[in-house]
Amino acid sequence: MRHLLSSADLTRDDVRMLLATAAEMHEVQRRDVKKLPTLRGRTIINLFFEDSTRTRSSFEIAGKWMSADTINITGKGSSTSKGESLRDTVMTIDAMSVDCVVIRHMASGSAHQVSQWVDASVVNAGDGTHEHPTQALLDAYTMEQRLGSLEGRKVAIVGDLTHSRVFRSNAITLRTLGADVTLVAPPTLMPSGIGTWAAADGLTLTDDLDAVLASGPEAVMMLRVQRERMSGGFFPTPREYTVGFGLTRDRLRALTAANPEAVICHPGPMNRGLEISADAADAAQSLVLDQVSAGVAVRMAVLYHLLAGEEAAA
Footprint on this chain of other proteins (rule: CB under 8 A): 17-18, 20-21, 24-25, 27-28, 31-33, 35-38, 66, 78-81, 85-88, 105-110, 112-113, 116, 127-131, 162, 165, 168, 191-194, 196-197, 304-305, 308-311
| Least distance (Å) between residue 81 CB and other proteins | 5
| Least distance (Å) between residue 89 CB and other proteins | 10
Amino acid (one-letter) located at 162: T
For 45, which DSSP code? E
Closest CB to other proteins among 260 and 310? 310
| Least distance (Å) between residue 64 CB and other proteins | 14
| Longest CA span, the chain | 58
> Residue 289's CB: how many other CB atoms inside 10 A?
12
| Contact in structure between 101 and 121 (CB atoms under 8 Å) | yes
> Residue 128's CB: how many other CB atoms inside 10 A?
17
Gap between the Cα atoms of 59 and 181, Å rounded: 28
Closest CB to other proteins among 21 and 72? 21
Closest CB to other proteins among 148 and 152? 148
DSSP string, 178-225: T-EEEEE--GGGSPTTHHHHHHHHT-EEES-HHHHHHT--SEEEEPPP
| Contact in structure between 182 and 217 (CB atoms under 8 Å) | yes
Closest CB to other proteins among 194 and 254? 194
HSE of 273, CA atoms in CB hemisphere, 13 A: 3
| Least distance (Å) between residue 285 CB and other proteins | 28
| Runs of H (alpha helix) within the chain | 12-28, 53-65, 86-94, 110-117, 133-147, 165-176, 194-201, 209-214, 238-245, 249-258, 278-281, 288-307
| Least distance (Å) between residue 141 CB and other proteins | 13
Closest CB to other proteins among 17 and 214? 17
| Least distance (Å) between residue 47 CB and other proteins | 13
Closest CB to other proteins among 217 and 267? 267
